[in-house]
Amino acid sequence: MANTKLIPRTPSAHEAPLLIKSLLAQSLRYNPQREIIYRDLFRMDYFELNRRIRRLGNVLSTLGIQPGDTVAVMDWDSHRYLECFFGVPMVGAILHTINVRLSPAQILYTINHAEDDIILVHEDFLAILETIHDQITTTRKFVVMSDKVYAEVPAELTPTSFGTLGEYEALLGAANDTYDFSDFDENTWATLFYTTGTTGNPKGVYFSHRQLFLHTMGLMTFFCGYEALPFSHRDVYMPITPLFHVHAWGFPLVATMLNNKQVYPGRYEPEMLLKLLIKEKVTLSHCVPTILAMLVNSPVAQQVDLSNWKVIIGGSALTRGLAKAALDLGINVSQGYGMSETAPIMSVVHLNDEQLTWDQEKQLNLRTKAGRMAPFVEMRLMDDAGNFLPNDGHAIGEIVARGSWMTQGYLKDPENSEKLWQGGWLHTGDVASIGPDYYVTISDRVKDVIKTGGEWVSSLDIENIFSQIEGVAEVAVVGLPDDRWGERPYALVVLKPEYAEIQTGENIRKILLEQCEQGTINKWYVPDRVVLVPEIPKTSVGKLDKKKIRSEMKDLLLGNQA
């Protein structure tokens, strides 16, 4: 029988679109008296946050910012940045979070590529802008951000060789605090930032209001709805991942909607971070392993109580050694997984009641996994030929993903966008297994897997073994070509200072070879050479730069430079 009913396939005009402003609106409802803090410089409640964001709306309008314009920010992790997370997209503009750790040339590239219309820049980064200002093609407007204005007797602002439109705090203070943020299409772009691979120029990744709304809802559901590592509205939240980096993993949006007390630390100095953490009673953070190592190894860490602190680790692999060191300090550490292109969260370790009673060794196995799949994220394993592999905990393949908050491609880069979404699945470039319990275990990057004697060896697995050897502070393992075996692993090691005189690379190899004899590791895992270095090359976001290691340190690793 023919169906005579009208089935509307377009949403009604009455239906509220999924916009970032709806997330902010919640922050006035439940615990608006909670505080948002910037170091020891600035404190406000959620009423004031909302008021300042309305003022920011007026400032942006006055400065001529139109829907579709791009507003760039170069700032430390501050309350101002949080205000821009909301205020900029809420006027319909796109927030470009500039990676201030890039080289001036790369920063210039991203500013011009993003066609920034205005840059809000912290005084500390004016020196960078001075060197590239003449080559910026689209931006004629600059607003200065300064921490000096929070001092009782503010110092003079740093002068610039180019004109600016004023200082952020002064502009806000002069602006009206009523602003009616209008509705618009939920697929409007909200944010844009650049991801730095190991090849070519930085790639622009962008997210819409709808995607950030759904990412926030997905995370709230995941963290509040199920088992442990819960993100409750009672947590005190401090990001230790730069806000320019995938919007600090989306957590500031979650924290704002949950009405958490929030602490923004500015720069990352271990002693200051730990003192701020204790003073403000921070209970939840997230960071990359390098930062956690820095905090764990700080002398201050031994003097304070970190047993109320939960940390989610991402960005690169959490080694067993580091996880153990953190657990020994009482830190509730777990790993998550995601990438710039996925907004970024795809999975986080979730310990249930029973797992929390396990002994440390067994917990470490779980805490160093990549986590359990987040709601509404679909991850599958794919082999080289594009076939799906089973989620049986054994099969190893590249993780491909789908979901409602994945980036749609790279800005003005159809070729790489198409590569990213080959066959309708987002290709992560990560090799993993997935258990029937939806737990993901990453083996390696597709590019970093070491193919030796017909075996696929995970460079991360070998690094994990190294992380548990006495004296090893940092390690990077890469595969280099070998006539007989195809590839062989080589290791770069940074020793802890107190071991500098008493440990050698050859000694470490011997320890590994002994473990082979005891049958605890496979013989082909032992690198051909272990080279001690004062520092390991890293990317601008603190990940081991294995491409650089393979290309620039090849001779050192092979012993050709002895």
Q: Which stretch binds its own copies (CB under 8 A): 35-43, 302-310, 400-408, 531-539?
A: 400-408
Check residue 414 for interaction with its own copies (CB under 8 A). no
Q: Which stretch binds its own copies (CB under 8 A): 17-25, 101-109, 239-247, 294-302?
A: 17-25
Q: Dig out the tokens for 554 from the structure.
A: 């090849």
Closest CA to 313 of 345, 269, 279: 345
CA–CA dist 91, 96 (Å, integer): 14
Catalytic residue among 451, 496, 510, 523: 451
Residue 337 in contact with residue 313, Cβ under 8 Å? no
As measured in angstroms, the least distance from the Cβ of 150 to its own copies is 29
Strands 388-389 and 378-382: antiparallel
Residue 411 in contact with residue 206, Cβ under 8 Å? yes
CA–CA dist 125, 285 (Å, integer): 26
Q: Which stretch binds its own copies (CB under 8 A): 54-62, 166-174, 408-416, 478-486?
A: 408-416
As measured in angstroms, the least distance from the Cβ of 402 to its own copies is 6
Collapse the DSSP code of 526 into the 3-class scheme (helix H, G, I; strand E, B; otherwise coil) and give the result.
coil
- Residues in contact with its own copies, shown as a per-residue x/- string from 108 to 127 under the rule CB under 8 A: -------x-x----------
Closer to its own copies by CB, 73 or 257: give it.
257
CA 372 to chain centre: 18
Chosen residue from 36, 84, 258, 460 binding its own copies by CB under 8 A? 258
Tell me which residues in 155-194 interact with its own copies (CB under 8 A). 185, 187-189
Q: What letter does residue 352 receive in the DSSP assignment? A: -
Catalytic residue among 456, 470, 510, 514: 456
Closer to its own copies by CB, 358 or 438: give it.
438
Q: Which stretch binds its own copies (CB under 8 A): 257-265, 277-285, 363-371, 491-499?
A: 257-265
Report how many residues bind its own copies under the rule CB under 8 A: 70
Collapse the DSSP code of 63 into the 3-class scheme (helix H, G, I; strand E, B; otherwise coil) and give the result.
coil
Q: Dig out the tokens for 157 from the structure.
A: 């602002």
Q: Which stretch binds its own copies (CB under 8 A): 103-111, 220-228, 243-251, 486-494?
A: 220-228
Closer to its own copies by CB, 124 or 227: give it.
227
Q: What letter does residue 431 receive in the DSSP assignment? A: E
CA–CA dist 92, 170 (Å, integer): 23
Decide if 341 is catalytic: yes
Q: The tokens 């509730």 sit on which residue?
A: 332
Closest CA to 247 of 210, 186, 205, 289: 205
CA–CA dist 128, 491 (Å, integer): 35
Q: What end-to-end distance do the CA atoms of the chain give, in Å? A: 83
Closer to its own copies by CB, 70 or 459: give it.
70
Decide if 451 is catalytic: yes
Closer to its own copies by CB, 73 or 273: give it.
73
Check residue 140 for interaction with its own copies (CB under 8 A). yes
Check residue 350 for interaction with its own copies (CB under 8 A). yes
Q: Which stretch binds its own copies (CB under 8 A): 35-43, 98-106, 374-382, 475-483?
A: 374-382
Tell me which residues in 44-83 interact with its own copies (CB under 8 A). 66, 68-70
Check residue 281 for interaction with its own copies (CB under 8 A). no
Check residue 233 for interaction with its own copies (CB under 8 A). yes
Catalytic residue among 341, 398, 463, 474: 341
Buried b vs exposed e over 140-171: b needs ≥16 C-beta within 10 Å?
ebbbbbbbebeeeeeeebeebeeebbebbbeb
Q: The tokens 């003079």 sit on which residue?
A: 156
Residue 326 in contact with residue 311, Cβ under 8 Å? yes
Check residue 403 for interaction with its own copies (CB under 8 A). yes
CA–CA dist 481, 319 (Å, integer): 26
**Alpha-carbon distances of 203 from 116, 196, 345, rounded to whole Å:** 15, 7, 19
Check residue 253 for interaction with its own copies (CB under 8 A). no
Closer to its own copies by CB, 97 or 464: give it.
97
Q: Which residues bind its own copies (CB under 8 A)?
A: 1, 3-18, 22, 25-26, 28-30, 66, 68-70, 94, 115, 117, 138, 140, 185, 187-189, 208, 210-211, 214, 217, 220-221, 224-227, 232-233, 257-259, 350, 372-373, 375-376, 378, 402-404, 406, 408-409, 411-412, 421, 424, 426, 438
User: Which residues form the catalytic set?
Assistant: 195, 341, 451, 456
